[in-house]
Structure formats: structure tokens, C-alpha cells
Amino acid sequence: MDIHHILTQLPHRYPFLMVDRVLELHAGESIIAVKNVTINEPYFTGHFPQRPVMPGVLLLEAMAQAGGLLAFETEGQAPEGNLIFYLVGFDKARFKRPVEPGDQVRLEVRILRRKRGIWVFEGCATVDGQAAAEAEIMCTMRDLSS
């Protein structure tokens, strides 16, 4: 899935779109996507000027966005009209290594379970085969018109 297709599936736009490409997607199971980290990211001017590091919360957001892509593909629908996918929580979040400009973050997310409209994903963000962050991510799909 290229960036043009991703833009039809996620409501996020620059500077908050955190998925650049989907490498693999198995509906109902898992997704592997990438985020290319460049020095032009707006958060690097303040986090940290002397040694730019991608904020950990944005790594979690990137995994959640990949989970959103997986959920919409699993449900066979796109976020049209008032349908949106909300992040509702994280558990077991751990940060293992800093992510810096020039890194390519590999986002691996799999569905753990779905119950009463809550999706639970297991996510791992890696750089060059090394874990950068991992977490359980909880999201829900909502129709804003109801």
C-alpha cells in the first residue's frame, strides 16, 4: 500500500501522518509498515536541538495508525463520512532505543483481540532489526453521526 492509498484510509495529514508505506497486510491478522524519519520533522527543532530524537509518544502513534489501517482493511471499509478510529489507551509501553533522523522505523502490529468494539493490538517499532518501542494499543471505531 503506497502513500496515496494510505491517505484514503487515514484522516491524518502532515505533520501528523506517521505511516509512509505498508509492506505487508494480512486482514484480520497483522500489518508491517514503515515510517521514514527525516530531519525535517517539526518536532526535532525542540526535541532535542543538540541531539534530535523522535518522541516516544509519536512511535506509539505510528503503531496506532498502522493498527487503524489494519482494522479498516479487516472490516473491509474506509473511514468515509463520520467513521473514525480513536486511540483509547496503551499498556505495557516500553522504549528500547532512540529513533533519530535518517532512521527507517518498521512498524509491526498484530491483532490480539476485539471485544465490544475495542480492538487490542500488539505493536513493535524497530530500526535496523533493533526494538525501539513496543506496546499493547487499544482503539475503537466510532461513527460520529450517531
The DSSP string of 29-72 is TEEEEEEE--TT-GGGGTS-TTS----HHHHHHHHHHHHHHHHH
pLDDT-derived band of residue 81, with 50, 70 and 90 as boundaries? low
Catalytically annotated residue among 4, 5, 12, 47: 47
User: Is 12 among the catalytic positions?
Assistant: no
- Taking only the tens place, the pLDDT of each residue in 8-56 is 999 899 999 999 999 999 999 999 999 999 999 999 999 998 999 999 9
Amino acid residing at 50: Q
Q: Model-level pTM greater than 0.85?
A: yes
Q: Where are the domains of the chain?
A: 3-143
- Under CATH, what is the fold of the domain 3-143? Thiol Ester Dehydrase; Chain A (3.10.129)
Q: 146 pLDDT exceeds 80?
A: no
- What is the mean pLDDT of the segment spanning 80-109? 93
